Structure 1
Amino acid sequence: MTLGKSLEDYLETILILKIKKGMVRSIDVADYMGFSKPRVSHAVKQLKTQGFLLMDNNGQLLLTDSRQAMAEKIYERHCFFTKYLTEMGVDPKLAESDACKTF
């Protein structure tokens, strides 16, 4: 299944927050990405409908087992291109941002 870049960014963010915090809620995603709660809620609904996410009774977002690997690949690709751009002399913050947008 192919996701658009926007939904890939949400999956990557959910994975990053899960690694950093252990649990993820929609508000955490909104804060991390700088988006409004309604915008994130819409994306979460799409990801749930497509079978990428589950939400427990506490509002915690959980990647489905079958989609965890996909999120990890998205994150690995992002890390690879961030490192590549940094090694080419791009400022680390700009490299981080450009890796999301370009690749």
Structure 2
Amino acid sequence: MLESRENYLEAILMLKQELGQVRSIDIARKLNYSKPSVSRAVGILKKGGYILVDAKGYISLTSEGLKKAESIYERHRTLTSLFVQIAGVPEHVAEEDACRCEHVLSAQTFQGIKMFLNENGIC
């Protein structure tokens, strides 16, 4: 899956947790994207079976979308912890870097990072 699509799914998950309901405008604000860009992405994610959009424009994740969003969000949280607690990076920098890295790490490397953090009581 493309990084941008993963970012949308993660944003939808986070907004659902924060707001309870998610609309395209909420995504546009959170990601600082234009409304047309979000509209296009929503169409792609809907066609791909990752989200549903009801008659009022509220967006929800399908089971497959939720699984993918939770996976990306777990990577984001874990990498942020690694960067802050091990590398001593300020949290805002760690958040930005985690957002970029979460999409390119192999499953094997991510599992190794998780094991290291868990074994050392960090995450």
Task: State the TM bucket, normalised to the shorter chain.
Answer: over 0.9
In the alignment, which of 41, 44, 60 is matched to residue 42 of structure 2? 44
Structure 1: how far apart are the matches of 2:73 and 2:7?
Answer: 9
**The structure with more radius of gyration:** 2
Structure 2: how far apart are the matches of 1:11 and 1:67?
Answer: 7
In the alignment, which of 39, 58, 61 is matched to residue 59 of structure 2? 61
Q: Does structure 1 retain, via aligned residues, the 8 Å contact 2:80–2:91?
A: yes
Q: TM-score, normalised to structure 1's length?
A: 0.94
Unaligned runs of 5+ in 2: 103-123
CA RMSD across the alignment: 0.8
Q: Does structure 1 retain, via aligned residues, the 8 Å contact 2:6–2:68?
A: no
Shift of 1:66: 2.9
- Residue in 2 aligned with 1:4? 2
Unaligned runs of 5+ in 1: none
Dislocated runs of 4+, deviation >3 Å: none
Shift of 1:67: 2.4
Q: Does structure 1 retain, via aligned residues, the 8 Å contact 2:9–2:65?
A: no
- Residue in 2 aligned with 1:22? 20
Structure 2: how far apart are the matches of 1:95 and 1:17?
Answer: 20
Shift of 1:76: 0.6
